[in-house]
Chain A
Amino acid sequence: MKRIAFNLMAWTIVLITAFPLIWMVITSVKPQFELFRIPPTFWPEQITFEHYARLLWETPFLLFMRNSLILSFSTTILVVAVATLGAHSLVRFRYRGRERLAQLVLFTYLLPSVVLILPLYLMMVWLGVANSLLSLVIAYTSFALPYALWLLRSFMQGIPDDLEAAALVDGATRMEAFFDVILPQALPGIISTSLFTFILSWNEYLYALVLVNTDDARPLTTGVMSMLVSSFNIEWSLLMAASVMMSVPLIIIFAFLQKFLTRGFGAGGVKG
């Protein structure tokens, strides 16, 4: 009985949270003339997939998606690789200025992006990579890295010292201990940091707006916005279809990563 009540409560909360998604999906399959019925209707009277078709075949949407995928994967891999090593260093090693370094890294975060984008753009021009996906990877890495470092650091702090010590006693080098012992323990933390970094890159708008203008390198955020949202008019149906399709890869990726976030994985390496 308590099980059922708990399940019901949990799912009610989930559905309330996801209500806007449900609204988006339903709106995206409504024909245009059903959009603004007063009073508003929930279920569509007719279901149509014309908006999806239009978006996929008649706009550069797939190009934008390709760009976003390349961009987000590259950034995530780069950030997580660098941050994992860095976090390990901050937690398991001792050297002068270690704490200062960690705090300084966070310091770079404190200015709002609005004032950073213009000098950043000028720098990209100077480097010769302006208007390319590479410039976005560089920019996104710079603001995802502090977050990733601090998150991973806190996860790694939760791993007991004894594990690494045991491996070292067995004759492993520090790096071998890292790969064989620490990484598996830190996997849930790494997964969640990767997910967060991926989402950050996937959804970033302002940097993409200023750093990239060409459709070849334009990601979904600015691509969809500039195409469908202007001050005098919003293409609601296409926008809802686009938003659903922008959220779907993330939901799939997370569903795939699910199993790494379950109990028993990476837990209980040392008993007692």
Chain B
Amino acid sequence: MTDARLATRSHTPHRRLALYSALALALVAAVIVSACSGQLAIAPADVLGALLRAAGLAPADPTATVSDAALWTIRFPRIVLAVLIGAALAAAGTLMQAVFGNPLAEPSVVGVSSGAALGASASIVLGWTFWGEWTIAAAAFGAGLAATVVIYLASRAGGKTEVITLVLTGIAVNAFAGAGLAFLTFLGDTGAREQIIFWQLGSLNGARWQQVGVVAPLVVAGLAVAFLLARTLDLFSLGEKAARHLGVNVEAVRILVIVIVAVLVCAAVAFAGIIAFVGLVVPHLMRMVIGPAHGPLLAASVLGGALLLLVADLLARSLIPMADLPIGMLTSLVGGPFFFWLLRRTRLREGGWA
């Protein structure tokens, strides 16, 4: 009953609007700060100028060639990739939590991310190039989807997923994927090894427009379907039987959600590696502010995930001068303790592993 006081407060549309506005403003601010900072400091006016010049709305400026080049070849693709991947991971977490009926479900915790990383690494070490730029994403998708299906089948009983089963399944899947990655590291040459380690740590270093070109359509398509399903996902909270009594084709929606999660996670993992806990922390915080209804929750999580990853990436490349820290390390540093707290709280409140 300790939450009764909080719980009596209703979450009105005003509150949603306030949250959306705050997140959107913070996101714009983070984009500007992110574009300005780096080894070459660029003034906000020059960032705006670079955008206008590219759009043909401002005359060419020979003095800005260097900053324009830095922005368009290095910083802008990195910013866009961070926004896309943050949105994808947060949305994937929201979707998994809805379908598992469990606030602890998250792509990296349960092993979807490491499964996708295994697929991506296999395509590098084995030199697959059948679909060009899309090969890595396709391999990540295949392995990520397989991991999601395994987790789903292994951790469900009687229409819901116990926390303990989910976490243990995650340990098993992560262990298996870890073994696969270890084997590939052993198998690969020095270059491939470096890339695999990069995948496990997660980084947006070296983001290019071609990568954005692969990630963007996947994320946009995944999010579009996710938003269409959002209201239906609310009914999953009643349990599968009750959802079916209300006319929901539970099996079909569940399979669709699993595929979308795999698409979103593979888009995130394909070029940036494993960035953990975004899908856990973001939806949870948003749920605390605006409640669990999945339409607004998904929208807020997309904004919040983009913001979180952009800020994390900014920190990753500016905390230590001249060094680019792995972003996955940073998110895990914050997300690990958060997961611990959430696990404890869930356990205390539900009086067990509910």
A, B assembled together:
no
